[in-house]
Amino acid sequence: SNVAASNAKLALFYDWLFFNPEKDSIMNIEPAILVMHHSMKPHPAITATLLDFMCRIIPNFYPPLEAHVRQGVFNSLTHIVEKRVLAHLAPLFDNPKLDKELRAMLREKFPEFCSSPSPPIEVKIEEPVPMEMENHLEKDDGCYDNAEAAFSDDEEELNSKGKKREFRFHPIKESIVEEPVDITPFLEQLDESLKDKVLQLQKGSDTEAQCEVMQEIVDQVLEEDFDSEQLSVLASCLQELFKAHFRGEVLPEEITEESLEESVGKPLYLIFRNLCQMQEDNSGFSLLLDLLSELYQKQPKIGYHLLYYLRASKAALGRMGLYESFAQATQLGELHTCLMMDMKACQEDDVRLLCFLTPSIYTEFPDETLRSGELLNMIVAVIDSFQLQELVCHVMMGNLVMFRKDSVLNILIQSLDWETFEQYCTWQLFLAHNIPLETIIPILQHLKYKEHPEALSCLLLQLRREKPSEEMVKMVLSRPCHPEDQFTTSILRHWGLRHDDLLGEHIKALLIKNNSLPRKRQSLRSSSSKLAQLTLEQILEHLDNLRLNLTNTKQNFFSQTPILQALQHVQASCDEAHKMK
């Protein structure tokens, strides 16, 4: 339906509307631009409808903030070009496949990104598909009172036979037609000897022959008199010739030493291999990195292919650190951004490969991976239960560490905003580690019973395995009392039945502490844990809930001496209102 399609488009562009490059991640705006870029050839209609939507959403998302939205979209486009997600936007905005009105609208709204201000030459395309772009938004009084009118109606596109065909976002199964690659314009700019070798590569039918030629090309790049101006052109040739490398599965179906070794025998991987065999101070080392950096701009997937090579190839044993040199040589210039973008690209293309790389990425780059939840979120967003179980085994066999004490609490707090299955995966992975629960117990202060059921149930099941410590009891009692929130009563009852004497002592200590403090000083004392303000009233209310819960059992928790002593102590010194209550 139109509404569903409009919502899909809005979801795709939502992060663009108020994008701020200082705070927001390029990954939030990449999907929309890449859908438009990749659909231009096989499905120009999708690109057209999205570009049209991008223009029309600016005045119509929320008219009072139109200037903000325009700035957000403008920031997104600028950032996309700066980060080289696409080198230029002109081929997208000013493409002859788009109809005239749409191109005029783009030129009017985003002149900075369209190359030629003069009207482009009309290119005749057989049987143009009429796009119904002249939408009922022309009056531009658009507000969202009428959801139907707010978006362009391109779902009912007429196909060339004049029949209406439904235009939905079906998953696109592209049938890949291997077109003969035209690299003539690049060849013109190469030296004779290099040109011959690239032509040999193009003609080469079997992998082995191509590998030999590729090695010769690498050798020539490493020669003293090689003109490094040619690297960019050479990279363009290689990227065109080996497009098929970057499609389909990288990881062999069955993983054995032989199949892995065979999978890293691609001609392009020879560049990686030569890097592995060099010392970093070798003059050729930086030249080959420059070649990779040029390739990376034209084909970003090369990043995770390098990670795969370093993990899978015998020749690369112990050379994982080479990736860092690569990251610094790219235009991104630093490891964290580069690693996250490559893992994101891998996540989008091949989840099996993502899981295969995970242990070595965490092991090799602990500072980049363990400090924030970014990579963890990428992983749990796409794995299934089988892959989760594999990762849990990796953790328990000592091949993988996904959390460390200093950052685990922050990451678990971040995960509270994730999807339900993502959160359950995160907790399962956390529980596979041997991190004492004390480390993360402060998360309780962030957990609201209606909003965070996943974390609460995981934590509850974990707490019941623990002996209560005073800190734990304090955190549990610090939860606000609410008739529907059973968390505190559940765990207190469990501890009361298993560890009654220990729990009794802790409660006595907390009651006496919280009773003897003057009211004002108390709030200063506990400012270390700003969120958990433990009050006497709260403790008593939780204890009363526990008492009601235990009434029909033979449990005599409240007749223990420490509890009676504490209650007498409180009774002797508290005010009338508390006594009445």
Burial class (CB in 10 A: 0-12, 13-18, 19+), 532: middle
**400: helix, strand or coil:** coil
* Predicted confidence (pLDDT) at residue 468 exceeds the cutoff of 90: yes
Say whether pTM exceeds 0.95.
no
Tally of CB atoms within 10 A around 577 = 8
- Calculate the average pLDDT of the chain: 84
Report the C-alpha gap between 74 and 498 in whole angstroms: 62
pLDDT of 128 reads 44
pLDDT of 87 reads 84
- The full length of the chain comes to 581
> DSSP of 122-149, one letter per residue?
P---SSPPPP--S-TTTT----TTSGGG
> In 322-450, which ranges are E strands?
none
pLDDT tens figures, 488-517: 999 999 999 999 999 999 999 998 888 765
pLDDT of 186 reads 81
Tally of CB atoms within 10 A around 324 = 16
pLDDT tens figures, 3-41: 888 999 999 999 999 999 988 999 999 999 999 999 988
Give the highest mean pLDDT range of 53-57, 126-130, 535-539. Answer: 53-57
Q: Answer for the pair 156, 167: CB distance below 8 angstroms, yes or no.
A: yes
Q: Answer for the pair 579, 571: CB distance below 8 angstroms, yes or no.
A: yes
pLDDT of 421 reads 96
Q: What are the extents of the domains in the chain?
A: 2-113, 189-370, 372-466, 468-516+532-580
pLDDT tens figures, 279-306: 877 888 888 999 999 999 999 999 999 9
Confidence label for 149 from pLDDT (cuts 50, 70 and 90): very low
Between 367 and 161, name the one with better pLDDT.
Answer: 367
* Predicted confidence (pLDDT) at residue 529 exceeds the cutoff of 70: no
With tokens 């990881």, the residue in question is 251
Report the C-alpha gap between 16 and 75 in whole angstroms: 8
Q: Answer for the pair 168, 196: CB distance below 8 angstroms, yes or no.
A: no
pLDDT of 145 reads 39
Q: Answer for the pair 190, 233: CB distance below 8 angstroms, yes or no.
A: yes
| 15, 29, 55, 59, 563 from 23: Cα distances, Å | 12, 13, 24, 24, 51
Mean pLDDT throughout 210-219?
Answer: 90
Report the C-alpha gap between 503 and 490 in whole angstroms: 14
**398: helix, strand or coil:** coil
pLDDT of 161 reads 46
Question: For residue 83, what are its two tokens?
Answer: 């980060």
* Predicted confidence (pLDDT) at residue 443 exceeds the cutoff of 90: yes
pLDDT of 580 reads 83
